[in-house]
Amino acid sequence: MESAEQSETLTLLTERFGDSILSTDVHYGILSLSVKQAAIVDIIHFLYDHPQLRYQYLTTLCGIHYPELSQIAVMYQLHSLENNKRIRLKIWLPEDKPETPTITNLFAGANWMERETYDFFGVVFTGHPDLRRILNVEDMTIFPMRKEYPLEDQTREDKKDEMFGRLPHQHLRTS
Amino acid sequence: MGMTRNIVGEHRELGDENRYTTLNLGPTHPATHGIFQNVLTMDGEVIVRSEPTIGYIHRAFEKLAERRPYAQITPITDRLNYCSAPINNMGWHMTVEKLLGVEIPKRVQYLRVIIMELARISDHLICNSVLGVDTGALTGFVYLFQFRELIYEIYEEICGARLTTNIGRIGGFERDFSPTAWAKIDKFMKEYPVALKEFEKLLKRNRIFMERTIGVGAISAERALSYSFSGPNLRATGVDYDVRVMEPYSSYEDFDFEIPVGKNGDTYDRFLVRQEEMWQSLSIIRQAIEKLPEGPYHADVPEFYLPPKEQVYNNMEALIYHFKIVMGETDIPKGEVYHCVEGGNGELGFYLISDGGRTPFRLHFRRPCFIYYQAYPEMIQGSNISDAILTMSSLNVIAGELDA
């Protein structure tokens, strides 16, 4: 259940972006929303500018690959230092062409976070000033954090999915 | 007959590309204390542009974590900020405990605070004394280093390891602190404040040190927030964001301490903030020792905390739990957790998605170094190369945390 402040945030967001909010939940105290990709930049700007909310600190940003859904999610976690509240936003992008606008014009710190997400998941942040690989070598051709790239030697029996308590390729969607 | 040649005129006609010198600082340069490459465009002594390249020690931790059971991820976290590995370990344990909904005994929480604050001191003392080395004062470094050694001996007494500690377990500690460990902590608490005071006298009002650091590598609070700075580097700009106070974990709310903040966000302020934080850490450790409650050194979670070996051999339940834990048969709830701790360099966050499997479905580390190091080109633009070295030292960029 969300707290009073969280429901207030939610009401403000629903009023303005009702059609773009896919689902809402509270995960271990953090208000988490799944939103439509088209609205993400507007929502972040709204959260940033709103005099009551003031989510002006970008804690982190990362990609998540859901092979069962053929989708790549991008998670943004914002923090309102004035109200000491956090919010998590998730957008869903198609695996074959993950693309979303950059938020570097709002947060200088998003630059490397987006580059990292591009490097590992192949998410293209349109309008990014310098979208290059950051931790991997330039001539790498794959996006290594995607689930189809196994970590270990494929001949090893002890590293199969069953050994980790899940059926092969049955990665469940958790939100 | 020789021809006359007007070299002054020739020089004037050179384009921009010829006026600047390209200088490779790193990847392995003795002045940068780690593997960082910066391609600098220099106009004489002045840095015009800088282009950092990172990833030289990237070890794919996030990918590795997807194939490691929860307990085996702790050693991975050691290798993030290896100057304060116990904070990373505790942060990870607390993330898993949050996911599992485990109630942690007060004694464990206090013991954790003691270890985490010792780790913060060892982190800050390295950063500040190395800053001294970079300004030409080696004495403070070799003098304070023996106390880092003492802190490492305390870790060793508690968990057997020194640098990459893998300290504690999910649910608590593997054993209680031994009398030798307490004796070493007492020795540290008695001797370190004296040495720290001396170190402070050596540098704090030292004219050379002040002239080398004041106004060097400054960043405004506004820019620092836009760059998502955290930790001492953010506090040096005057913003009082500290995870220990904003979202207290492990009973930090029981202790009385201050958050030191700076004003100018320059190298000198970062030095002062870290210096004062060490005093605060000492005070927290003192309070934790005084108020230390009696009780067990681990939580009662037999499904996740390995039973003692003698019980495994003599007790049916212990054997079953041992088997279940080792074979990964315990049920792990599904969910998304974010937990953060105040690491040596700022907000160290763990974003964990569990799909009920033995390993995380996804684990993302919020690494403060990675996030604030991107401001480095902006901070050193227009400064001298010697100042750029100091700026990097005072930011305390740790390659392990930067590259994951």
pTM: 0.89
Band of the pLDDT at B7, cuts 50, 70, 90?
Answer: low
Band of the pLDDT at B3, cuts 50, 70, 90?
Answer: low
In sequence order, the 6+-apart residues with CB closer than 8 A to the CB of B239 are A81, B221, B224, B225, B261
Instruction: Write phi, then psi, for B210 (nearest 5 degrees).
Output: -65, -40
Task: Please answer yes or no on whether A88 and B338 come within 8 Å at the CB atom.
Answer: yes
Can you give B212-267 as a three-state secondary structure string? Answer: HHCCCCCCCHHHHHHCCCCCHHHHCCCCCCCHHHHCCCCCHHHCCCCCCCCCCCCH
Expressed in percent and rounded to 5, the helix, strand and coil fractions of chain A are: 30, 30, 40
Name which of A62, A136, A165 is nearest B328 (Cβ-Cβ). Answer: A165
Task: Please answer yes or no on whether A28 and B338 come within 8 Å at the CB atom.
Answer: yes
pLDDT of A163 > 80? The answer is no
CA distance B222 to B358: 42
Name which of B223, B334, B371 is nearest A174 (Cβ-Cβ). Answer: B334
Task: Please answer yes or no on whether A172 and B334 come within 8 Å at the CB atom.
Answer: yes
pLDDT of B250 > 70? The answer is yes
Task: Please answer yes or no on whether A30 and B227 come within 8 Å at the CB atom.
Answer: no
Kindly list the structural domains of chain A, giving each domain's residue range(s) and its CATH number in brackets, ordered by start: 16-151 (3.30.460.80)
In sequence order, the 6+-apart residues with CB closer than 8 A to the CB of B61 are B76, B79, B80, B365, B404
Name the burial class of residue B394, with classes exposed (0-12), middle (13-18) and buried (19+) by CB atoms within 10 angstroms of its CB: buried
Residues 56-75 of B with CB under 8 A from A: 58, 60, 62-64, 66-67, 69
Band of the pLDDT at B356, cuts 50, 70, 90?
Answer: confident
Query: Which tens digit of pLDDT belongs to each residue from A9-26?
Result: 888 888 888 888 888 888
Q: What is the percent of chain B with per-residue pLDDT over 70, rounded to a whole number? A: 96
Write down the pLDDT at residue A99.
Answer: 93
Band of the pLDDT at B331, cuts 50, 70, 90?
Answer: confident
pLDDT of B14 > 60? The answer is no
Q: Do B355 and B331 meet the contact criterion of CB atoms below 8 Å apart?
A: no
pLDDT of B287 > 90? The answer is yes
Q: Cβ contacts (< 8 Å) between B355 and chain A: which residues?
A: 166, 171-172, 174
pLDDT of B221 > 80? The answer is yes
Q: Flag the least confident range among B20-34, B98-112, B137-151, B275-289.
A: B20-34
Q: Three-state DSSP class for B346?
A: strand
Average pLDDT over residues B324-336: 85
Name which of B54, B246, B358 is nearest A135 (Cβ-Cβ). Answer: B54
Is B354 within 8 Å of chain A by CB? yes
Q: Cβ contacts (< 8 Å) between A172 and chain B: which residues?
A: 334, 355-356, 361
Average pLDDT over residues A90-106: 93
Write down the pLDDT at residue A15.
Answer: 87
Write down the pLDDT at residue B336.
Answer: 92
Query: Which tens digit of pLDDT belongs to each residue from A125-149?
Result: 999 999 999 999 889 898 999 988 8
pLDDT of B19 > 90? The answer is no
Average pLDDT over residues B80-93: 92
Query: What ipTM did this prediction achieve?
Result: 0.88
pLDDT of A114 > 60? The answer is yes
In sequence order, the 6+-apart residues with CB closer than 8 A to the CB of B383 are B46, B47, B216, B217, B391
Name which of A59, A144, A145 is nearest B366 (Cβ-Cβ). Answer: A59
Write down the pLDDT at residue A175.
Answer: 38
Query: Which tens digit of pLDDT belongs to each residue from A33-55?
Result: 999 999 999 999 999 999 988 99
Q: Cβ contacts (< 8 Å) between B348 and chain A: which residues?
A: none
CA distance A95 to A92: 9
Q: Flag the least confident range among B16-25, B43-52, B266-275.
A: B16-25
Q: Cβ contacts (< 8 Å) between A171 and chain B: which residues?
A: 355, 361
Task: Please answer yes or no on whether A107 and B226 come within 8 Å at the CB atom.
Answer: yes
pLDDT of B226 > 80? The answer is yes
pLDDT of A172 > 50? The answer is no
Is A69 within 8 Å of chain B by CB? no
Kindly list the structural domains of chain B, giving each domain's residue range(s) and its CATH number in brackets, ordered by start: 69-403 (1.10.645.10)
Write down the pLDDT at residue B359.
Answer: 87
**Which residue in A has a C-alpha nearest to residue B243's C-alpha?**
A84
Q: Cβ contacts (< 8 Å) between A148 and chain B: which residues?
A: none
pLDDT of B381 > 50? The answer is yes
Q: Looking at CA atoms only, how far is residue B281 from chain A in angstroms?
A: 23
Q: What is the percent of chain A with per-residue pLDDT over 70, rounded to a whole number? A: 90
Is A163 within 8 Å of chain B by CB? yes
Q: B398 vs B5, which has greater pLDDT?
A: B398
Q: Do B264 and B218 meet the contact criterion of CB atoms below 8 Å apart?
A: yes
User: What average pLDDT is seen over chain B?
Assistant: 89
User: Which residue shows structure tokens 């976070």?
Assistant: A113
CA distance B304 to B366: 25
pLDDT of A171 > 60? The answer is no
Band of the pLDDT at B15, cuts 50, 70, 90?
Answer: low
Average pLDDT over residues B163-184: 91
